[in-house]
A = this chain, B = another copy of it.
Amino acid sequence: MSNLLGSKYRVQIFGQSHSPMIGCVIEGIPAGIVPDMSAISAFMARRAPGQSATATARREADAPQIVSGLNERGETCGAPLCALIANADQRSRDYDALRDVPRPGHADYTAWVKYAGHNDIRGGGQFSGRLTAPLCFAGALALQLLAERGIRVRARVHSIAGIRDAGVDFAHPPMNAISDGPLPTLDPEAARRMTEAILAAKAAGDSVGGVVECFATGLPAGLGEPMFDGMENRVARAIFGIPAVRGVEFGLGFAAADLTGSRHNDAYRVQDGRIVTDTNRHGGALGGITSGMPLVVRAAFKPTPSIALEQRSVSLGNRENAPLTVQGRHDPCVVPRAVPCVEAAVACAVYDLILEG
């Protein structure tokens, strides 16, 4: 059911954009871990709103408070860990008009149908990107646990508004070359042009989309299950939990469909006693099971549906056409803030698989 991710590292997310709190309950954390709160906060700050000109003006400290799951020494004790995040800067009045006139491209209408009009319309309710804050908490903790095993997860902006970052060698992802800051890329010039495109869209009352690419290195071979619980199934399920994702692909992804087998297969080779592939078009998993090569996954994000331009919509109450001009504060592009969200989703899925053994 809806907000539960994972089987052994199991994350239950709750909250709405304007509920008093949002948060998560995590089961399956090994006992004896001291959560690195400064690392977690730093990770969550990458997702937090109000930090750059390309993001929404809503400001949230997003300081998670752990209210269960730790013993008196601050170590995980085997009990479910609950982390709470307060919703502070709510401007619910911005949303009154949306109760009757749903925003195109949003879940306003589908939630209205599903919940018979009782859905929480304020700020998008449970469909808000704000729900990725607890996902990032869970992901940051997973990253800490993965790091202990030599596993790293890092994502970058692959493209925004059609502007692409530099290409990479999937067999050797440039984990350290990805820039920090609000728009992580390899090529600073690409980041600059992407920022321009975002600001231009914002100025036009419009929005843009993009693609996030994520790498995980240090994975052992042999993780994952055949058919429906493979690495791809699980990572895709997690990533599609982030709002605005329209597609997920691994390795070469859709580009693989245009190749021949002889050009797509990654030849095996023995290197220092280990079996590796020189290329990594398969993206780190074969038959749903990790190969020991880096995991490579991309997620396509649609342009933010909340735009300032007037749009055509309907009045749900009157069942008639009605124009709509969306109020409120919105990201003209969700992609920069989606980068840590994708890392979090991948980290949760990968750590879950590791615990499954």
Contacts and interface: CB of A to CB of B under 8 A. Distances in A.
Interface of A: 1-5, 7-8, 10, 12-16, 18-23, 25, 27-28, 31-32, 65, 67-72, 75-82, 84, 92, 102, 104-107, 109-111, 113-122, 125-127, 131, 159-162, 201, 206-211, 221-230, 232-233, 236-238, 240-241, 243, 245-254, 256-270, 273, 275, 277, 282-283, 285-292, 298, 300-307, 309, 311-314, 316, 319-321, 357
Given A114-B289, A237-B233, A286-B110, A257 B78 contact: no
A325 to B, nearest CB: 12
Taken together, the copies of this chain in the complex come to 4
Contacts of A102: 268
Contacts of A305: 261, 264-265
Given A2-B227, A32-B117, 17 more contacts: A2-B226, A5-B228, A12-B25, A14-B79, A16-B77, A31-B118, A32-B118, A67-B84, A78-B114, A78-B115, A106-B286, A110-B222, A207-B260, A228-B237, A233-B237, A240-B288, A275-B314
Nearest to A304: B261
A68 B21 contact: yes
A209 to B, nearest CB: 4
A105 B286 contact: yes
25 contacts: A2-B27, A14-B82, A15-B79, A19-B67, A19-B68, A21-B67, A31-B114, A31-B116, A32-B115, A71-B118, A71-B121, A72-B92, A109-B221, A109-B275, A110-B287, A114-B289, A126-B226, A162-B257, A209-B256, A246-B253, A260-B303, A262-B307, A265-B311, A270-B319, A270-B321
Nearest to A24: B25
Nearest to A221: B113
Contacts of A114: 31, 78, 221-224, 289
A243 B300 contact: no
Nearest to A278: B312
A286 B8 contact: no
A107 B300 contact: no
Contacts of A270: 314, 319-321
Contact of A68 (B15, B252, B283): B15
Contact of A261 (B12, B75, B80, B206): B206
Nearest to A357: B357
B19 A14 contact: no
Contact of A105 (B27, B266, B290, B319): B266
